Structure 1
């Protein structure tokens, strides 16, 4: 009997289970999680590097914000990530095409983030980055801890999706009817809460739901969660100055 129990522990991961009743191998799931966070770390490093370049090389943001050609370039960069979502999903299992498309996707978002940062003071950008790091780390640790104790955050999916649609609608409305300073700060605060929820939800999916070959979509989800949280925190702090 002890032999059967030992065999069962090896197959399911034994005491190293990520959540109660785990049927898959914990070693394989942990390998998948490490792969996703390795990709995410590379994306964040690339984003920090590109954003810092755009921020400190002042002719770049000046060209974007002060010339018609620059605005056209910035518009293309904003649209590019949406256009790349299809090839990212279509070639997610085809290496190295998936890595190349992911790199272009990350570069385009990094450039846009750099432009947004260039419109704020360096102190505000640094404070927003530190606050984002603390929140992401804390929410990730909390989610792993909660899932380990049997909690499941899959129920958040429909609510977060509905909130995301509202955020997108308000973002489009701001193009034609810009919000005031106070309204923008409140909007950014609500959006920050939504993307905190997305970090918890997507981390839960990473631990329990996603297949091992879905490392590219998993990394993209978490990357977008972090970037959106950072930009909205930056918006809050910029409007308080």
Structure 2
């Protein structure tokens, strides 16, 4: 051994040993370069790495044989030469991730919203035509003296109109298939509207013109306010439908009692309660159109929805007319 100027030791005669001889004592063998790689051998999936085709040398191909169908579970070794298995999935037969199994892809709901808006417009269009016809009958029976005189002399025509009203009303109310069948549903609704308009005109002819006009104005104000409020509020009025139905039954028995025990104060109370209850029914029937409450109507039920709103408005008008008439005496 000799030492150079920098103080480093140089081996003049390094130890010589062959591949077949064991290394001298104290000589540390480096770890094999294929530690952690697939084992080579005749039964292994990957042959031993060589200089040619070895990715460590950057020459030739990948060094791996082309197997059309790789084995199900090849054996691998880790850094400590411990064997382990890795699952292999063939291309084209990969299982989906757990989060996408049996997943239902739902649309954005824009189509349903468009259908609901079209349904609402159709209902209010039909309702506008019904109210226009009724207002025409009321104006005719109120401002035309000859028609008013004819109605007063022939009161039986009111009951004829009531019977004509009941037949299509019961059919529309009870027969779901019939009220969804075009054009019979519109024909029945037209007959019902004409009969109801005639009855409202007959009732209006027994009151003074100024009382009828005040009742019409208050009815328009109340109904417009209730409809706009019901369309904008987040409160669900449809959840109170059962309570309103019970109140309506109680009001019917109270009305029968008022027939036998006629009193002006009782009649005013009955008319006020009736106007209040049907105002609540108007709010409920308006929210049934929206489709985002606990109860809603199908978009096919535009005739039934228009009928409910029409009858609510007519009842509010008749009860307000009755309040003004009884208050004046």
TM-score range, shorter chain: 0.7 to 0.9
Structure 2: tracts of 5 or more residues without a match:
1-104
Structure 2 residue 114 is the aligned partner of structure 1 residue 27: yes
Structure 2 residue 288 is the aligned partner of structure 1 residue 205: yes
Structure 1: tracts of 5 or more residues without a match:
1-6, 14-23
Q: Secondary structure at the match of 1:206?
A: coil
Aligned pair partner of 1:11 in 108, 123, 130: 108
Q: Decide whether aligned partners of structure 1 residues 234 and 98 sit closer, same or farther in structure 2, where only a CA change above 3 A counts.
A: same
Residue deviations 1:142-184 (CA, integer Å, cap 9, x gap): 11111xx3x2112211111112222333334444x26222221
Q: Compute the displacement of 1:25 (Å).
A: 2.0
Q: Decide whether aligned partners of structure 1 residues 178 and 72 sit closer, same or farther in structure 2, where only a CA change above 3 A counts.
A: farther
Tell me the distance in 1 between the aligned counterparts of 2:269 and 2:133.
30
Aligned twin of 2:225: 138
Residue deviations 1:43-66 (CA, integer Å, cap 9, x gap): 000101122122223333333333
Aligned twin of 2:278: 195
Q: Decide whether aligned partners of structure 1 residues 74 and 174 sit closer, same or farther in structure 2, where only a CA change above 3 A counts.
A: farther
Q: Decide whether aligned partners of structure 1 residues 145 and 28 sit closer, same or farther in structure 2, where only a CA change above 3 A counts.
A: same
> Normalising by structure 1, what TM-score?
0.83
Aligned pair partner of 1:49 in 126, 136, 149: 136
Structure 2 residue 271 is the aligned partner of structure 1 residue 184: no
Tell me the distance in 2 between the aligned counterparts of 1:50 and 1:63.
14
Aligned twin of 1:100: 187
Q: How does 1:41-190 map to 2 (within 5 A)?
A: 41-66=128-153, 70-89=154-173, 90=175, 91-146=178-233, 149=234, 151-175=235-259, 177=260, 179-190=262-273
Aligned twin of 1:232: 319
Q: Secondary structure at the match of 2:238?
A: coil
RCO (CA 8 Å, sep 6+): is it higher in 1 or 2? 1
> Normalising by structure 2, what TM-score?
0.62
Q: Compute the displacement of 1:26 (Å).
A: 1.5
Q: Secondary structure at the match of 2:179?
A: coil
Greater fraction of residues in helix:
1
Q: Which one has the largest radius of gyration?
A: 2
Number of residues of Structure 1 aligned to a counterpart in Structure 2: 217
Tell me the distance in 1 between the aligned counterparts of 2:279 and 2:148.
29
Aligned CA-pair RMSD: 2.0
Aligned twin of 1:18: none
Of stretches 56-65 and 222-231 in structure 1, the one that deviates more from structure 2 is 56-65
Tell me the distance in 1 between the aligned counterparts of 2:202 and 2:156.
14
Tell me the distance in 2 between the aligned counterparts of 1:184 and 1:54.
25
Kindly indicate whether the alpha-carbon contact (under 8 Å) linking 2:255 and 2:270 is maintained by their aligned counterparts in 1. Answer: no
